[in-house]
Amino acid sequence: MTKAERFQQTRERFITQWGALGTQWGINRTMAMVHALLLVSPEPLTTDEVMEQLQVSRGNANTNLRELVAWGLIRIVPRKGDRRDFYEAEKDTWKMFCTIARERKRRETEPALALLHECAAETEDIASAEAREFNARVSDLADFVSLANTVMDKVASAKDSSIAPKVLKFLG
């Protein structure tokens, strides 16, 4: 096997496995594969190039490209004299992490926190042992999710993308 063939095989394995990992993170496989493809592509790609390289339909490619743009993980890059949209991924790993943290917080932890607060408020004046235990559990969960949100806010809003990873590495 040539080095070029080994590179292509490794690149394809990365894209496929990133897609599989995406399903474990709660996003669909194709969306994760589109992100991986754009992440490792040296140049912005068109929808047709994404379709061809991943062997997906136009509708599937368009849906996932739009969703990745909405997440802020990829952006549309105009090309002078070309009416097609070209897409590129954010290549800065820290910025990508911050974007994902902000979106997951907005889409997942904030709604969970609202639910926990509502459940705690609705049961705080019920005197049964079961209700008191329930209230204590959801209140503890609310405290934890609130702390996690605060940490995510601090990490995701770090202005200097070179300092925060070093601090986190030091803590680990």
Structure tokens at 52: 């061809």
Would you state the pLDDT for residue 168?
Answer: 61
Q: If pLDDT is split at 50, 70 and 90, which confidence band does 94 have? A: confident
**Which distant-in-sequence residues (6+ apart) come within 8 Å of 90 by Cβ?**
72, 73, 74, 75, 96, 99
The length of the chain, given as a count of residues: 172
Q: If pLDDT is split at 50, 70 and 90, which confidence band does 161 have? A: low
Q: What is the largest CA-CA distance in the chain?
A: 73
Q: If pLDDT is split at 50, 70 and 90, which confidence band does 33 have? A: very high
**Which distant-in-sequence residues (6+ apart) come within 8 Å of 34 by Cβ?**
50, 54, 61, 64, 65, 68, 74
Q: If pLDDT is split at 50, 70 and 90, which confidence band does 27 have? A: confident
Residue range 42-69: mean pLDDT, rounded: 97
Class of the domain covering 3-89: mainly alpha
User: For 132, how many CA atoms within 13 A lie in the half-sphere containing its CB?
Assistant: 3
Give the closest residue to 72 by CA, choosing from 150, 156, 153: 156
How many angstroms separate the Cα of 6 from the Cα of each of 11, 14, 38, 105, 135?
Answer: 8, 12, 19, 38, 57
- For residue range 104-138, list pLDDT tens digits in order: 888 888 999 999 999 999 999 999 999 999 999 99
Sheet holding 45-46, edge to edge: 45-46, 82-89, 74-79
